[in-house]
């Protein structure tokens, strides 16, 4: 096996596949994807529902179909793959240490790396859920894998905690497979997933969502027998007199995703405490030269199409870096989260690159605004550089805004840029 690659991509989900394809298309010689699973495609392999590809293909596809398109493209462009191989460590000088059954411990060197390790689900321990510790408590993604990949039902009577997308999608899936989903409980006063999933997965199947309500206690010794639900106030304190015991044999947790960045930290990549992903510029390069990141490892995306787009940008940057051992730095300007914005990605705009192509900003609102909003990018003097109207702003749905090359002059003069989401006057 060759030991030096132009670009090594870690992870073969939509972010990694797009990055590898783009690296090849932009002149990188040897490009390798390392994947710990036995199949390419990442999380999409288990997402057999439709709802993928609406933005890129204008088509409503199941996850595996969407993935297959890019798997074939990667194979067609000559991307190498190393499957069933776990990356254990990366260094700032871009040495990659991995392990697999046939070759044992492997050491590879890359001129550029793209981190595309996706994210993982929050577990019971991370939300400090009290009660006994019986079998029957699963994360929604684990249950999804059981049903869609292993062909096994994890239970018969479910309560789902959290209104994230995976939980709502699983509420529908389990109902189709004959289980009873008794309730979806959400601690926040608003939905945390996409509205379309609420309509298509809960409303259409008569499944009740209760907001500002959570699991107070899990009941059962060997197997879950019931959960105790309770309403909470704004500070998440239980409201007296609102407890209800709901008999069930399984509890699914859909309580958030965390970008998978243990490897990134080992390589010296700095993480944004709000996104839990790397600080990146508009080419998705991290603070470590030559190490790029794409997809859910950067921040948790709601739509796969934007993951693919980010993968293309990161892969192109990685190819340029691999060929030049650097990319023209250019002056950079910081992008900051302003009014009602929790975070914005990328964190920095490279002034020079904006002259060539548009840059997509992605952000999440802090609190919902259920009326028309104006999203603005403003310079230090409040001058509007880019803007966009939206019918509403909801924390569960990413807001996307592009800065076009025509704003190049204005960005050249800016010292910092702030992104705001305000009610439209």
Question: What is the contact surface with ligand FAD in residues (CB under 6 A)?
Answer: 10-16, 34-37, 42-44, 47, 49, 51-52, 86-87, 116-118, 141, 144, 165-166, 169, 260, 263, 295-297, 301, 303-305, 307
Minimum CB separation of residue 198 from ligand FAD in Å reads 13
Minimum CB separation of residue 38 from ligand FAD in Å reads 10
| Residue 56 or 319 with smaller CB distance to ligand FAD | 56
| Residue 31 or 44 with smaller CB distance to ligand FAD | 44
Burial 46-85 (b: 16+ CB within 10 A, else e): bbbbebbbeebeeeebbbbbbbbbbbebbeeeebbbbeeb
Minimum CB separation of residue 55 from ligand FAD in Å reads 8
Minimum CB separation of residue 197 from ligand FAD in Å reads 7
Residue 249: name the closest of 86, 401, 114, 134 by CA.
Answer: 134
Minimum CB separation of residue 107 from ligand FAD in Å reads 15
Burial 99-137 (b: 16+ CB within 10 A, else e): eeeeeeebebebbbbbbbbbbebbebeeeebebeebebb
| Residue 61 or 403 with smaller CB distance to ligand FAD | 61
| Residue 201 or 226 with smaller CB distance to ligand FAD | 201
Q: What spatial distance separates the first Cα and last Cα of the chain, rounded to whole Å?
A: 62
Rounded Cα distance between 23 and 314, Å, is 8
| Residue 40 or 385 with smaller CB distance to ligand FAD | 40
Alpha-helical segments (H) within 132-288: 140-145, 165-176, 195-197, 262-266
Minimum CB separation of residue 316 from ligand FAD in Å reads 16
**What order of strands is seen across the sheet that includes strand 209-211?**
137-139, 250-253, 157-161, 180-186, 209-211
Q: Which residue's entry shows tokens 């009873």? A: 180
| Residue 6 or 35 with smaller CB distance to ligand FAD | 35
Q: Spell out the residues 6+ positions from residue 126 whose beta carbon is closer than 8 angstroms to its own.
A: 255
Minimum CB separation of residue 294 from ligand FAD in Å reads 7
| Residue 8 or 327 with smaller CB distance to ligand FAD | 8
What one-character-per-residue DSSP string does 52-64 give? ESTTTTSS-EEHH
| Residue 118 or 278 with smaller CB distance to ligand FAD | 118
CA–CA distance from 97 to each of 9, 111, 269, 270, 414 (Å)?
Answer: 13, 15, 17, 20, 41
Strand pairing report for 348-350 and 384-390: unpaired
Minimum CB separation of residue 20 from ligand FAD in Å reads 11
């Amino acid at each position: 096996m060759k030991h030096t690659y132009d670009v090594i991509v870690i992870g073969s989900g939509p972010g990694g596949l797009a990055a590898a394809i783009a690296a090849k298309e932009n002149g990188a010689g040897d490009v390798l994807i390392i994947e710990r699973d036995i199949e390419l495609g990442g999380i999409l392999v288990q997402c057999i529902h439709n709802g993928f590809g609406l933005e890129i293909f204008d088509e409503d596809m199941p996850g595996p179909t969407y993935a297959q398109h890019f798997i074939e493209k990667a194979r067609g462009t000559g991307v190498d793959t190393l499957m069933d191989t776990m990356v254990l460590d990366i260094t700032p000088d871009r040495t990659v240490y991995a392990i697999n059954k046939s070759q044992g411990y492997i050491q590879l060197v890359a001129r550029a790396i793209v981190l595309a390790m996706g994210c993982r689900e929050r577990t019971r321990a991370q939300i400090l859920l009290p009660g006994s510790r019986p079998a029957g408590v699963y994360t929604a993604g684990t249950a999804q894998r059981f049903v869609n990949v292993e062909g096994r039902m994890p239970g018969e009577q479910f309560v789902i905690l959290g209104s994230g997308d995976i939980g709502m999608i699983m509420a529908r899936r389990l109902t189709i497979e004959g289980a009873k989903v008794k309730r979806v409980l959400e601690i926040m006063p608003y939905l945390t997933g996409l509205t379309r999933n609420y309509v298509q997965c809960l409303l259409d199947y008569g499944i009740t969502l209760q907001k500002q309500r959570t699991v107070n206690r899990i009941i059962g010794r060997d197997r879950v027998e019931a959960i105790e639900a309770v309403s909470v106030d704004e500070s998440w304190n239980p409201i007296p007199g609102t407890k209800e015991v709901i008999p069930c044999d399984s509890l699914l947790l859909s309580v958030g995703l965390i970008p998978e960045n243990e490897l990134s930290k080992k390589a010296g990549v700095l993480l944004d405490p709000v996104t839990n992903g790397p600080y990146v510029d508009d080419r998705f390069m991290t603070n470590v030269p030559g190490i790029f990141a794409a997809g859910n490892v950067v921040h948790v995306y709601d739509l796969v199409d934007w993951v693919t787009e980010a993968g293309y940008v990161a892969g192109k940057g990685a190819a340029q870096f691999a060929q030049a051992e650097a990319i023209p730095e250019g002056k950079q300007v910081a992008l900051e989260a302003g009014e009602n914005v929790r975070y914005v990605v990328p964190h920095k705009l490279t002034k020079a690159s904006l002259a060539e192509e548009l840059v997509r900003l992605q952000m999440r609102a802090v609190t919902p605004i259920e009326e028309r909003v104006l999203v603005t990018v403003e310079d230090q003097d409040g001058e509007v550089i880019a803007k966009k109207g939206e019918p509403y702003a909801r924390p569960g749905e990413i807001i996307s805004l592009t800065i076009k090359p025509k704003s190049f002059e204005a960005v050249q003069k800016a010292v910092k840029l702030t992104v705001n989401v305000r009610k439209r006057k």
